[in-house]
Homo-oligomer: A and B are copies of this chain.
Amino acid sequence: MDFQNICAELEKLYEKHRHNLEGNLADYIPELSKVRPDLFSISMYFVDGREFHLGDSTHKFTLQSVSKPFAYGLALNLKGEDYVHSKVGVEPSGEAFNSIIELEKNTHKPFNPMINSGAIAISNMILNESLLKNFFEKLSNSHLSINHDVYNSELTTAHRNRAILNLLRHFEIVDHNMDQGIDLYFKQCSIEVTTKELAIMGAVLANRGIHPITKENLLEKHYSKILSLMFTCGMYDTAGSFAYKVGLPAKSGVSGSILAIKPNEFSICAFSPLINSHGHSIRAMNLIEELSLKLKLSIFS
């Protein structure tokens, strides 16, 4: 993969989509709808340390669901695969990002750790804010903060997530201090990053779990499982379609970012807060899709 070539292609695509203001700001929590709609940035980070950034790549946004693969990785580190998957499955759910509670019919487990119910179960395995924040800081190799306005907004309005938590408690997927677990989940979603920082986090997954800068082994045992889950379940009810068209493991968040991984090569993170009805950033999605088609980035190409 030629670095110059990719950068040139990205510049073209960035220009092409720059003025597209289709889509809507997320409004399920009030704070998310206060963002400047024209923000747009891209960051790539290669496993060999090269990086490339365009647009508002130092603008801070909250991680939202893009936090899920990393929290899942932390839970795997802490508890091991067997324990984690006794509580959460690995099957695509066909669930929309804003779907009501759906649990596997026979097991009553959440379908996978990439949807809200699974991610809430994962938070209940971690239950330690500084542990989580510290892990995310190691991944991004920078100091991170929680956006307390977003966090408070989540706390007071996220009745659906509380419904999920109570149902998980009912089915004994979650078995202890519930307030602490959901609190951590809201905090995890409210951690702020730039595309630059998120691209570095993604580069750990691209680099087989080893941090490309610090060389610390953060996800070595589990990176391939996380990538597999991102591929089959990372884009909610359009996971199949993204896998089909783009062919890269990815995760999107309603605040407007999409992180995609080209294993052994690079991560790419695009951000633009205007989302479609599936909760995916329209410009981020289009840009990554067109880049993949043009440069044949699919893992199956």
Q: A residues bordering B, Cβ < 8 Å?
A: 89-94, 100-101, 103, 111-112, 159-160, 162-167, 169-170, 223-225, 227-229, 231-233, 237-241, 243-244, 247, 249, 263, 298-301
What are the residues of chain B within 8 A of A240 when measuring CB–CB? 89-92, 111-112, 229, 232-233
A168 → chain B closest CB, angstroms: 8
Interface of A is mostly: helix
Q: A91-B237, A100-B101 are in contact. Are A300 and B244 (CB under 8 A)?
A: no
A227 to B244, CA, bound (A): 9
**Contacts A/B (CB < 8 Å), 22 sampled:** A89-B241, A90-B240, A90-B244, A91-B241, A92-B232, A92-B240, A94-B94, A94-B111, A112-B240, A159-B166, A160-B167, A162-B166, A163-B163, A163-B170, A224-B298, A225-B244, A228-B300, A231-B231, A231-B232, A231-B243, A232-B232, A299-B299
What are the residues of chain B within 8 A of A169 when measuring CB–CB? 159
What are the residues of chain B within 8 A of A111 when measuring CB–CB? 94, 240
A120 → chain B closest CB, angstroms: 12
A115 to B255, CA, bound (A): 34
What are the residues of chain B within 8 A of A243 when measuring CB–CB? 90, 228, 231-232
